[in-house]
Amino acid sequence: MVDYAQPKTSSALALSRHALSEQYKQVRAFSELICKPLVTEDYVVQSMPDVSPTKWHLAHVSWFWETFVLSAAQPGYTSLHPQYTYLFNSYYNSVGARHCRPRRGLISRPTVTETYQYRRYVDEHMQALFEHLDESRLSALTPVITLGLHHEQQHQELMLTDIKHVLSCNPLNPAYHEAPASPSLSVAPLSWITYQEDVYWIGHKGDGFAFDNEGPRHKTYVQSFQLGSRLVTNGEYLEFIEDGGYSTPTLWLSDGWRTVQEQQWQAPLYWEKRDGQWCMMTLSGLRAVNKYEPVCHVSYYEADAYAHWKHARLATEAEWEVAASGLDVRGNFVESGVYHPVPMQATLQKEGPTQMYGDVWEWTQSAYAPYPGFRPAPGAVGEYNGKFMCNQFVLRGGSCVTSLSHIRPTYRNFFPPDARWQFTGIRLAREVEAHA
């Protein structure tokens, strides 16, 4: 679920008028760059309730600028169309009635062309704002503008995630783009890295942007633990499948086992067996499963069952953040243009854990909950995060369709435990004592 956060204090933001405007242009341009490979028809389809049509994403992010920036800056501001507020509100009860989410795919108009016109209209008003708004009011709006940039980046990730799902529903297996397949190079064996028990500080420190759910920074007690040195691969996950993982109830959470049976899961989402060989739908079309790539498109239930089968567990989000705290934020992000997880390159192997950032979001065993002292922002943006703190699990580290400039060590993504259409994967953890 994409959620809109309250930025930290505006004093933390020192972007110049020009820099803000340039950032805005870059982020907005990237949304449209993502759509380049699409035909008009692709923009329209909603393949399941969780998926939104690309056309809707493009309009909704513009609605966000209108609602939280332009309307705030210009009291007389009017949208390009009086009904767009209704059509493109996602879930803000404070802002008014809205079009029902599962029916977003029934709306053929505004057309794609009109949607781009809507974007132009918003861009022109935003540019005017960057150029002409007086300093104090621009400064006051900078936090919500920064939020808008991160919001649009979140939808960029969703656009790629959703279009993959849409194309996967088509028996013609159309490709979104042509990317070379990953090389089939063996990866290093999984090893375990040990962390000592202590009271640690967790959560965002206060410099730079963060969503409201990343704070307050606070102390937490972490028992000593071990973390897997890399992500779990398709090849390792195949062993779980071939060992009967999907037909052994004792490996699964109770809700997970019910889901396996109801949905008849036999493998990760997008996998299918053709002539005895496992293939997977990718944004480059149908491909054979590469054993060395990180496993992707697994639910929390599958991640947990796999860990159980390996006599291990998933990390807590505090453990993950402790392990990530000293590492550089780099990896296979959307900027690589691959849009697919890649095998860990041996040359990147170091002392610490690898693949902590990018490739796939890592399920943690932490239910998504407020940090001690958390308070949602007042007003509509307070609906961005807090109201989803129930029945979801935290994921960390970003994926191959996340922007590098969007991720942080303290970033908390969250999805329900049965969600599989996101780029989600597995890193193992375990107790120290059991393996001393």
274 binds its own copies (CB under 8 A): no
The binder of its own copies chosen from 153, 156, 366, 410 (CB under 8 A): 366
192 binds its own copies (CB under 8 A): no
| Residue 391: CB minimum distance to its own copies, A | 5
Residues 151-190 that bind its own copies (CB under 8 A): 166-167, 169-172, 174
Based on CB atoms, which residue is closest to its own copies, 193 or 369? 369
273 binds its own copies (CB under 8 A): no
220 binds its own copies (CB under 8 A): yes
The span of 6-14, 108-116, 262-270, 345-353 binding its own copies (CB under 8 A) equals 108-116
Counting residues that bind its own copies (by CB under 8 A) gives: 70
The binder of its own copies chosen from 19, 194, 373, 435 (CB under 8 A): 373
Residues 374-403 that bind its own copies (CB under 8 A): 382-383, 387-391
The binder of its own copies chosen from 5, 45, 283, 356 (CB under 8 A): 45
Residues 312-351 that bind its own copies (CB under 8 A): 313
Q: Residue 133 has which token pair?
A: 């708004």
206 binds its own copies (CB under 8 A): no
The span of 117-125, 251-259, 286-294, 419-427 binding its own copies (CB under 8 A) equals 251-259
Residues 132-151 that bind its own copies (CB under 8 A): none
Q: Return the CA Rg of the chain.
A: 22
| Residue 81: CB minimum distance to its own copies, A | 8
Give residues in contact with its own copies (CB under 8 A).
39-45, 47, 55, 81, 83, 86-87, 91, 93-94, 99, 103, 105-112, 166-167, 169-172, 174, 197, 199, 218-221, 223, 225, 249-250, 252-257, 300-301, 304, 313, 365-367, 369-370, 372-373, 382-383, 387-391, 417, 431, 433
